[in-house]
Structure 1
């Protein structure tokens, strides 16, 4: 690549737990000789996704090419965080062939697209494509798209409910901004669930979008890299619920970091998280746990009451052996003492 060519950037968006980190991990390992760089935008102060990606770094995407931004949505901190980070990646020697940006699951992608119009970077990078990941099982269940019958029933039961939930708006904005949808976890949804999810996506998309089904983030990189969309030049064709607003807020959501001592077993922690999701309407739990008597660190990823755990690596001698979990919920559902007590058992 010469200095006369813009470096392509792929924005990977999608709801909490849709599989963004899993997808990018796969792309890193199967880059086909492309030198990749990654920007990870976390929600909350504990960097889980960035640590996962740095752990799978290879020569074509070394750890120094993975940069984590945990100070809020990058589209809200363009001058302070986003522009300097992009400039850092562009200054690498050798320069990356392609940059991947993993947005927070709560981020609206359109304001990020607008950031690419900044003079400092517009002539040097281009948005190759916006990829929206959608959890097939969750979409089929109607969690992230409007369900008029359900909304009407909710209105009847609770007069204070008179609009769509913030979650559905985030989902619709991600679809509206996308060049392609990756339908994830199709093995969990089954054929009927996949068909239902496809129908929801088709109904809620502002324009026809290609939909690709995948499991465990496995997809040929040639399918999603090299789209040449130049999406920063096509912003008007990507409508948003927030068009016309000067900025956007993330006050609909909140997160806390819960720190605990060793947990007894992975199964016991899983049970606590499942109960937490049911009793406190928790959207997401992610982090690391120290398991009593085990030298390995336990990676924890939960979407609602669906919990996955696995040992990812031994605890290092220079780090604290402690359980740290990020808990994300809609505002009004964060009761820190109660959540901490529930996780502590």
Structure 2
């Protein structure tokens, strides 16, 4: 699900005059993208920042997890921003550009299984190239869980290959020697990337915003070699035609149709219930019964044992449950999304049902 939010403040940014600067935040499932986005929104004082968020799944979770200074949130289509909703991405960008209250900066957070190449090409391959300026692609890496071999994912590879800045995140959870080895491997994929080490996505913003690291000429020079790389089994083509008043007909093809999700075997399982969980049953399910093919899960939890709202995150084998409060008028319910490769949707839903009270 794609969402648009605008974080506003009083003064203006001394931004370059050649189009609205854009930063793309990418990274595999659970790497810390939303945490980085919140860090940006909380610390960019004096700047009006528009945010575009893409979720993969039937229900939207990030709306409850993102700190937003205004409540205007536009929900578009479900899917992966790099393929199935490319038209909606373009329309959302125009909604930002045409706002009466102008913004200084645009941040696009992709879903964790998105290929950043076609997202970048959306800015470079349409009339948006004259209205925006792609500043950099920032890729987050979960040092504890990241493994291109494990994920066996073209998208995970491309997130590194096209990252101008790579944040080695969650370094507090692993030995420094392991981080060193991971950095060596990432430099084999992208030798000239700016690599920074972070905990909880905390990074000085001048190191990642308005840095001017994206080089469009070099980017296009590498597209052919990217398509021919032995790592990939399909071609990337992006065709756009421009109609009157930016009525866009855009098509992003992997062969004839974008199929990287099918190639990588990803599936999203959504679960919603107006019954509370039994906390012990849910913990037992997460500890002992959840498939190892689930790489990422997140959501809002409601327990019989607690009146509070709880924020749930799972990355790899590690999960956290944090206390929160229900917003005024917010319905108490459980809302979860699980994302993985070749996972059994029916089994996950059946096991979650058994964790509910009176089930």
Q: TM-score range by the shorter chain?
A: 0.7 to 0.9
CA distance in 1, matches of 2:344, 2:215: 36
The question of whether the paired residues in 2 share the 8 Å contact of 1:275 and 1:305 is answered with no
Alignment partner of 1:334 out of 318, 337, 344: 344
Label 1:235 to 1:269 Cα distance change in 2 as closer, same or farther (>3 A). Answer: farther
Offset of residue 57 of structure 1: 1.9
Deviation at 1:269, TM superposition (A): 2.5
Q: Tell me if structure 2 keeps the 8 A contact 1:132–1:182.
A: yes
Relative to 1, partners in 2 of residues 1:50 and 1:136: Cα closer, same or farther, differing over 3 Å?
same
Is residue 63 of structure 2 the alignment partner of residue 50 of structure 1?
yes
The 3 A distance-change label for structure 1 pair 52 and 34 is same
CA contact (8 A) 1:107 1:170 kept: yes
TM-score (structure 1 length as normaliser)? 0.82
Considering only aligned residues, what root-mean-square deviation do their CA atoms show, in Å?
2.4
Q: Distance in 1 between matches of 2:179 and 2:15?
A: 43
Match of 1:41 in 2: 54
1:296 is matched with: 308
* SS at structure 1 position matched to 2:148: coil
Give the direction of change, closer, same or farther, for the CA distance of 1:74–1:84 in structure 2 (3 Å limit).
same
Establish whether residue 314 from structure 1 lines up as the match of residue 321 from structure 2: no
Question: Aligned residue pairs: how many?
Answer: 311
Query: Which digits, 9 at most, give the CA deviation of each residue in 1:120-179, with x for residues without a partner?
Result: 42210121000010011123xxxx224xxxxxxxxxxxxxxxxxx653432221111110
Corresponding position of 2:285: 272
Kept in 2, the 8 Å contact 1:74–1:82? The answer is: yes
Aligned to 2:311, the other structure's residue is in SS state strand
Residue of structure 1 aligned with 2:130, choices 102, 123, 126: 123
Which has the larger displacement, 251-260 or 232-241? 232-241
User: Does the C-alpha gap of structure 1 residues 190 and 117 become closer, same or farther in structure 2, counting only changes over 3 Å?
Assistant: same
Identify the structure with the greater helix proportion: 1
Mapped partners of 1:2, 1:41: distance in 2: 25
Q: Write out aligned runs for 1:1-345 (5 A).
A: 5-53=18-66, 56-58=67-69, 62-64=70-72, 67-77=74-84, 80-139=87-146, 144-146=147-149, 167-205=152-190, 207-233=191-217, 234-237=219-222, 239=226, 241=232, 242-244=234-236, 246-247=253-254, 248-249=258-259, 250-251=261-262, 252-260=265-273, 261-265=275-279, 268-277=281-290, 279=291, 281-317=293-329, 319-331=330-342, 333-336=343-346, 338-343=347-352, 344-345=354-355
CA contact 1:128–1:226 (8 Å) conserved in 2:
yes
User: Is the Cα contact below 8 Å between 1:282 and 1:304 reproduced in 2?
Assistant: yes
Which consecutive residues of structure 2, in runs of 5 or more, have no partner in the other structure?
1-13, 238-252
Query: Shift of residue 196 of structure 1?
Result: 2.0
What is the rounded CA distance, in whole Å, between the counterparts of 1:257 and 1:183 in structure 2? 29
Q: Under a length normalisation based on structure 2, what TM-score does the superposition of the two structures give?
A: 0.79
For structure 1, list consecutive stretches of 5 or more residues without a partner in the other structure. 147-164
Secondary structure, aligned partner of 1:137: coil
